[in-house]
């Protein structure tokens, strides 16, 4: 009895339960045909309100990012006539935006739009939208019909909205831990799929590996490309490669800050990540992994040990290349395939075609999302394109794609956004003391540089606007960086007059 009398009564939670019961009673009488789904929505709404009032709303951002690798399945998509096809990640995004709005309302927070960077992002997004609107929201090539509106909404509008919301809601140092924890949890699933896919693609009676892959659609040839590689739950191996490189350096960052069994688990995950990057067969991933390693050694460590780490890393790389040279020097991408020349030739053709398009449409471009419409009509060299598929020709440098589609102003705009975010990170690094060892430290800024550099390196060989999870992760992390830079700005203190 004494224990019962000491239980804490929470009026806010009681009011939510009472309101939910009352709403359920009304719905059961007024619209009984909507049950039980109306009750499911009602429970979800009640949990959302309670989450906003009691927990950290920024967590929903990383749940949204992670949903692309776990819930973005075609069977779960809902086709709404006269509207966009709604997938679980899009539903989660809508719920997250509502949660942010409730957060700012209930906690009296401010939705901030006080940076030149935010105005720049808004201008660029509106310009790209104007380009897509004037040239058409759908492409003429059937396989890429959704290119204009899908890439615009999924890879630009939604991630930049999330950047703005995360920036406005950044409050505490511990908010950095959420993406690290959730990315690490999803990392085990990505590694699980990557290893099984690599074993299954190798043949030799490895059908048992395919039987363990879940969901089974990721082994379907119609679900994207790169079936012979470890592509995880993504439609191409590019998304898996970008994620794994990011996962490795996130683990290195977290290992320095935690102790106990979880630290051992992260070390094991980091070790398993290196072969999985190789399993993707993405040469840009190899380059990104090495370049990011140099950045981590130079700026993520003291200068006294940076040179030693780089020297040891180069030694390990040289030994690895010598040992596995026979596999690497082949044209079989599954075993390394650095000698495979077909994709290199196709990209050479694409560079020349991009030059022709820019000369013909230097200022307005051919329209956002309409690069392929013009590319398929251009003259091709049959010798250079021998054996190349149409889908392979669609892979392109993201910056060349944007200058072709939106002209020089569009290219300048996206480059200016990258420069602006990088400048914000530089300002944040200067404000942090070198001795800071918590989550918010100079290492965190270096980790963000690695995430951005990883994205840019991949974008030099692929149109990253098709890799929506990578865009969502990059710009959501940018929101944290910009938010912390604002928090550390000096604020004047109003003292009472004498």
Q: Express each pLDDT in 231-273 by its tens digit.
A: 888 888 889 999 999 999 999 999 988 888 888 999 999 999 9
Two structure tokens written together for 213? 């892959």
Q: Express each pLDDT in 431-450 by its tens digit.
A: 999 888 889 999 999 999 99
| pLDDT (0 to 100) of residue 412 | 96
Tell me phi and psi for residue 119, to 5 degrees: -65, -35
CA distances from 409 to 121, 199, 305, 310, 418 (A): 13, 46, 43, 39, 15
82 — alpha (psi -120 to 50), left (phi > 0) or beta?
Answer: left
| pLDDT (0 to 100) of residue 108 | 64
Q: Express each pLDDT in 184-209 by its tens digit.
A: 999 999 999 989 888 887 655 567 77
First vs last Cα of the chain: how many Å apart? 57
Residues 6+ apart with CB under 8 A from 139: 145, 146, 147, 148, 369, 370, 372, 373
Structural element, H or E, at residue 396? none
Two structure tokens written together for 303? 């200068």
| pLDDT (0 to 100) of residue 316 | 60
**Residue pair 51/99 in contact by the 8 Å Cβ criterion:** yes
- Round the CA-based radius of gyration of the chain to a whole number and report it: 25
Full DSSP string of 288-302: HHHHHHHHHHHHSS-
Question: Is the dihedral angle over the CA atoms 451, 452, 455, 461 positive or is it negative?
Answer: negative
- Using alpha carbons, select from 286, 288, 296, 284 the residue that is nearest to residue 252: 296
Task: Count Cα atoms within 13 angstroms, Cβ side, for 117.
Answer: 23
Is pLDDT at 307 greater than 60 in this prediction? no
**Residue pair 475/159 in contact by the 8 Å Cβ criterion:** yes
| pLDDT (0 to 100) of residue 315 | 57
Helices (H), 432-491: 442-459, 468-487
Tell me phi and psi for residue 58, to 5 degrees: -65, -20
CA distances from 222 to 69, 70, 226, 343 (A): 17, 18, 11, 21
| pLDDT (0 to 100) of residue 273 | 93
| pLDDT (0 to 100) of residue 77 | 79
Q: What is the pTM of this model?
A: 0.84
Between the ranges 92-101, 410-419, 427-436, where is the mean pLDDT highest?
410-419
């Amino acid at each position: 009895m004494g224990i019962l009398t000491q239980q804490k009564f929470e009026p806010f939670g009681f009011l939510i339960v009472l309101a939910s019961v009352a709403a359920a009673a009304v719905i059961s009488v007024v619209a009984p045909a909507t049950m039980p789904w109306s009750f499911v929505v009602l429970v979800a709404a009640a949990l959302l309100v309670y989450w906003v009032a009691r927990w950290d709303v920024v967590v929903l951002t990383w749940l949204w990012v992670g949903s692309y690798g776990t819930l973005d399945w075609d069977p779960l998509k809902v086709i709404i006539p006269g509207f966009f096809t709604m997938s679980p990640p899009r539903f989660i995004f809508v719920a997250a935006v509502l949660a942010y709005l409730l957060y700012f309302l209930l906690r009296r927070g401010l939705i901030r739009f006080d940076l030149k960077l935010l105005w720049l992002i808004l201008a660029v997004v509106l310009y790209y939208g104007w380009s897509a609107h004037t040239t058409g929201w759908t492409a003429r090539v059937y396989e890429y019909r959704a290119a204009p509106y899908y890439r615009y909404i999924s890879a630009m509008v939604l991630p930049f909205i999330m950047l703005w919301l995360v920036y406005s809601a950044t409050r505490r140092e511990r908010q950095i831990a959420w993406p690290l924890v959730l990315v690490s949890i999803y990392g085990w699933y990505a590694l699980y799929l990557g290893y099984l896919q690599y074993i299954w693609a190798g043949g030799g009676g490895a059908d048992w590996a395919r039987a363990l892959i879940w969901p089974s659609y990721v082994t379907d040839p119609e679900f994207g490309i790169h079936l012979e590689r470890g592509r995880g739950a993504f439609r191409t191996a590019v998304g898996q490669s970008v994620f794994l490189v990011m996962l490795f350096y996130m683990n290195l960052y977290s290992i320095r800050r935690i102790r106990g069994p979880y630290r051992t688990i992260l070390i094991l995950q980091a070790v398993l990540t290196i072969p999985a990057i190789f399993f993707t067969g993405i040469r840009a991933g190899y380059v990104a992994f090495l370049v990011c390693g140099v950045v981590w050694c130079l700026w993520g460590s003291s200068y006294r040990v940076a040179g030693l780490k780089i020297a040891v890393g180069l030694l390990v790389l040289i030994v690895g290349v010598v040992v596995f040279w026979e596999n690497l020097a082949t044209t079989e991408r599954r075993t390394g395939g650095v000698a495979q020349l077909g994709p290199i030739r196709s990209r050479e053709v694409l560079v020349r075609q991009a030059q022709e398009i820019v000369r013909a449409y230097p200022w307005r471009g051919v329209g956002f999302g309409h690069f392929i419409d013009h590319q398929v009509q251009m003259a091709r060299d049959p010798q250079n394109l021998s054996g190349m598929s149409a889908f392979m020709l669609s892979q392109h440098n993201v910056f060349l794609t944007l200058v072709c589609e939106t002209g020089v102003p569009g290219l300048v705009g996206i480059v200016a956004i990258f420069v602006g975010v990088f400048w914000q990170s530089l300002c944040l690094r200067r404000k942090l003391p070198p001795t800071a060892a918590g989550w918010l430290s100079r290492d965190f800024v270096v980790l963000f540089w690695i995430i951005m550099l990883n994205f840019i390196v991949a974008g030099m060989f692929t149109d990253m606007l098709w890799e929506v999870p990578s865009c969502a992760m990059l710009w959501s992390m940018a929101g944290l960086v910009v938010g912390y830079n604002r928090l550390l700005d000096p604020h004047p203190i109003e003292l009472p007059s004498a």
